[in-house]
Amino acid sequence: MTTRYHHAVLIDGTGAAPVPDAVLDVDDDGLIAYAGPAGNAPPTVPTTTVDLRGRTLLPGFFDCHAHLCMTPGHGLLASLGADPTVQTFEIAERLRATLHAGVTSLRDLGGIPAGYRTAVERGLITGPRLQVAVKVISHTGGHADCSLPGGVDAAPHLGEIADTLDEARIAARRMLRAGADVVKVCATGGMGSPHDDPDDEGLSVEELRAVVDEAARHRGKPVAVHAQGTAGIRNALRAKVASIEHGYGMTDELCDMTLEQGTFLVPTLSTVFTELDPAAMPEYHYRKKTRWAGISKENIAHAISRGVPVALGTDSGVVPHARNLLELSHLVDLGMDPLDAITAGTLNAARLLGVSEQLGSLEAGKTADFVVLDGDAVRDIGALGRPERIVLVAQAGAVRKNLL
Comparing C-alpha atoms, which of 228, 331, 195, 224 is closest to residue 270?
331
324 in the same domain as 237? yes
Burial 343-360 (b: 16+ CB within 10 A, else e): bbbbbbbbbbbebbeebb
Number of independent structural domains in the chain? 2
The rounded distance, in Å, linking the Cα atoms of 321 and 67 is: 9
CATH code, domain with 213: 3.20.20.140
174 in the same domain as 43? no
Comparing C-alpha atoms, which of 62, 72, 224 is closest to residue 133?
224
The rounded distance, in Å, linking the Cα atoms of 332 and 339 is: 9
268 in the same domain as 224? yes
369 in the same domain as 389? yes
Which pLDDT score is estimated for 45? 80
396 in the same domain as 290? no
216 in the same domain as 69? yes
What is the pTM for the complete model shown? 0.96
Task: Tell me the CA end-to-end span of the chain in Å, nearest whole number.
Answer: 22
CATH code, domain with 381: 2.30.40.10
Which pLDDT score is estimated for 310? 98
DSSP string, 71-124: -TT--HHHHHT--HHHHHHHHHHHHHHHHHTTEEEEEE-SSS-THHHHHHHTTS
382 in the same domain as 272? no
372 in the same domain as 279? no
The rounded distance, in Å, linking the Cα atoms of 234 and 328 is: 26
141 in the same domain as 47? no
Residue range(s) defining the domain that contains residue 72: 61-352
Which pLDDT score is estimated for 81? 76
pLDDT less than 50: residues of the chain: none
DSSP string, 10-57: E--SSSPPPEEEEEEEEETTSBEEEEEEGGG------SEEEE-TT-EE
Query: How many other C-beta atoms lie within 10 A of the C-beta of residue 170?
Result: 15
Cβ contacts of 226 within 8 Å, gap of 6 or more? 109, 136, 143, 144, 184, 185, 186, 187, 188, 190, 202, 245, 246
Give the SS3 label for residue 251: coil
